[in-house]
Chain A
């Protein structure tokens, strides 16, 4: 066995020597602390891959089966680790295959740097083989992008790319590098990290007057409610957030991507917001007298009908992105800034109050939801297996310690509602874009981003098939990802909408799937299918205990619905329990 080599750059930083653009790219990645890259080589990135051949001791490259797998893996890596994820693709189709994941990273504020190969600079604009104008294509869905045509630009542009991707409100950056620049030799004088761009202000300046105004509103409130989003996690402000709610004693609820910022079992945690969120926080959004929104962006799936959203309440909005303030919901007091900085300032000024009667209102609605929805979902007793009871068993077996990566649809909502998270960065899912096919590759990336943690992908039968090819990546790299396919033989959420709003006209939502266990077996991934309730607990225990990748298919209730539900276009007050 080889001893681990010290992770230093190949090229000493203080000497000037000639290196290729391709080597300069890898030097930049090493200098930025990258350890894992997800990608596939192609004609316009072959020079980078040639250089990568000598960097095996410093950069782990995971060969995916499709570029969409690479970008989702990079997202999963970023979400579980808090570091910048990296995807590497060639020009043309390689680059365009990244697009869905880039859009996903943009709307979910995930820091990723995508490096795409491009045709020779001399061929740009000539419809050359595998040429595509990826800069224009990716423009609206990247935080920044840039095309490099000369190798000398590589160190400074990549330094900017990493700086922009990870700072402020994070997001995806795409750097397109022409083949001539990859091959070009130039005098390299080391890599300098970027920490300032004059036209880019990652964080707005904190205005103490707004903090004071916000504190006054909080101290005067009788029925306040905190709603938080992923901003708390992206800002590494979980402790600051917990300190704030504990000092003030204010009940709080989370958006889909905010889940896990504080433990699911925290006594002030009132559950999930939005279309399939919990009954109490949705109804009470329209009854509270003060809404304190922290690192969330009032997505339409959270607000329901906007002109009937929290009209009775004053609104305090804490956000790092000034463009989010007043975008959907007008703020009474805008608290611009990084919540890691603003929350402690606010905590200092707020007083503890006992909101016993207000909390009792939450408890009453929680009881309603428990009786009508939750009992039946988690403890059905007879009939077909429900998605909820699968998640309940998973909670009991993992004790809330696992990272759960869910796909998109009914199972995603059920997972978000019922999965227990003890730690931040445990809930990974495609929120804003709702990208089916996200879970499997994102779970691979999440595992590389948090190697010591158990990673479980939960997907439906529809979404699982949208990036099913990544089973090959899992096989080749023996990635320890547990996969649960909740199979209801439908595109379940679509079927639910068709049942509720289109007179059960199941137009093209009925799905015939392959034998998933046999497919996994073809990739030499062991697995099991469960059809009976009696087998379920043991089967999940086997999955959790298994060393290495494993697939468990559970045949679940064919026409199960996710409730509560706020129908699209309706006010939160019209939330339905059935």
Chain B
């Protein structure tokens, strides 16, 4: 695993990237490593990776460096995990997607306002139905938080936000590493 994080015992956000086989039950084994220490996972995303058949978990935790290092080694020990990386927020580019459902009458009554919101906040309207409107933002935590504030006067019906996904700035992809593992070196 890459140890390129500043030393310390203070809590901070760590973005853990896990490359693994695609196997049933692996997410349970991974989350178990956190839950047995009563550590909350801030967000967890699974997705395909740049390599066909290899899955990628993006896990966000708020922990000390020391504890995080122990967790990383225990994740990497799992039979179906190939490699684990850990990065601070500065070492990754990350995004979250959020969806907001508001009543249609609100948008009708304040059409001008809504257009302004779309323009100012880079928000997209992805569904305009007779009785509701669905908006979408992609960005970081403060953007979705801000949108919640902006939309609350219109009466928010539903809100949902995805887990964080992150791309490692310095990574040149996993394919070389995978070849090493396939060769058993």
Q: Which of A197, A322, A325 contacts B76 (CB 8 A)?
A: A322
For A139, A147, A199, A201, the residue with the greatest tally of chain B CB atoms inside 10 Å of its CB is A199
* B106 CB–A CB distance under 8 Å: no
Considering only CB atoms, which chain A residue lies closest to B180 in the complex? A198
Count of CB-CB pairs between chains A and B under 8 Å: 48
How far is it, in angstroms, between the C-alpha of A197 and the C-alpha of B76 when the chains are bound?
14
Residues in B neighbouring A136, C-beta threshold 8 A: 25, 28
B32 touches A323 (CB 8 A): no
Contact B82 A199 (CB under 8 A): yes
> In the complex, what residues of B have CB within 8 A of residue A196's CB?
184
B105 at the interface (CB under 8 A from A): no
> Are A197 and B79 in contact, CB atoms less than 8 angstroms apart?
yes
Contact: A198 with B181, CB < 8 Å? yes
Contact of A323 among B28, B29, B73 (CB under 8 A): B73
Range, interface on chain A: 20 to 34
In the complex, the answer to whether A322 meets B77 with C-beta atoms within 8 Å is yes
How far, in whole Å, are A222 and B163 apart by their CA atoms in the complex?
54
Q: Give which listed residue, B36, B74, B82, contacts A198 with CB less than 8 A.
A: B82
Measured between beta carbons, the chain B residues less than 8 angstroms from A323 are: 70, 73-74, 76-77
A139/B29 in contact, CB under 8 A = yes
Q: Say yes or no for A164: interface residue by CB 8 A criterion.
A: yes
* Interchain CB contact under 8 A, B20 and A199: yes
A57 contact set on B, CB distance < 8 A: none
Q: Report A-chain residues with C-beta under 8 Å of the C-beta of B29.
A: 139-140
Nearest CB on B from A137, distance (A): 11
CA distance A140 to B70 in the complex (A): 16
Give B79-107 interface residues, CB cut-off 8 Å to A. 79-82
Q: Given that A139-B28, A201-B181 are known contacts, is A327 also in contact with B21, CB under 8 Å in the complex? A: no
> A321 contacts the other chain (Cβ, under 8 Å)?
yes
Complex Cα gap A26–B36 (Å): 36
Identify B21's interface contact among A147, A199, A201, A326, CB under 8 A: A199
* B129 at interface, CB cutoff 8 A: no
* B-contact 0/1 string along A142-165, CB 8 Å cutoff: 011101000000000000000010
Interface residues of B in 11-54 (CB under 8 A from A): 20-21, 24-25, 28-29, 32, 36
Query: Which of A144, A325, A326, A327 touches B79 (beta carbons < 8 Å)?
Result: A144
Q: Within 8 Å of chain B (Cβ to Cβ): is A53?
A: no
For residue B32, which residues in chain A have a CB less than 8 angstroms away from its CB? 139-140
* Closest CB in chain B relative to A176 CB, distance in Å: 11
Q: Cα distance A122–B20 when bound, in Å?
A: 28
Using known A-B contacts A136-B25, A139-B25, A140-B32, determine if residue A199 contacts B79 with beta carbons closer than 8 Å. yes
Contact A326 B69 (CB under 8 A): yes
On chain A, the residues within 8 Å of B178 by CB distance are 198
Q: Which residues of the partner chain B approach A501 to less than 8 Å between Cβ atoms? A: none
Residues of B within 8 Å of A198, CB to CB, are 82, 178, 181-182, 184
Nearest A residue to B70 by beta-carbon distance? A327
10 pairs, A vs B, C-beta closer than 8 Å: A139-B28, A139-B29, A140-B29, A140-B32, A144-B79, A144-B80, A323-B73, A323-B74, A325-B73, A326-B70
A-B pairs with lowest CB-CB distance, top 8: A323-B73, A199-B82, A144-B79, A198-B181, A200-B79, A323-B77, A198-B182, A140-B32
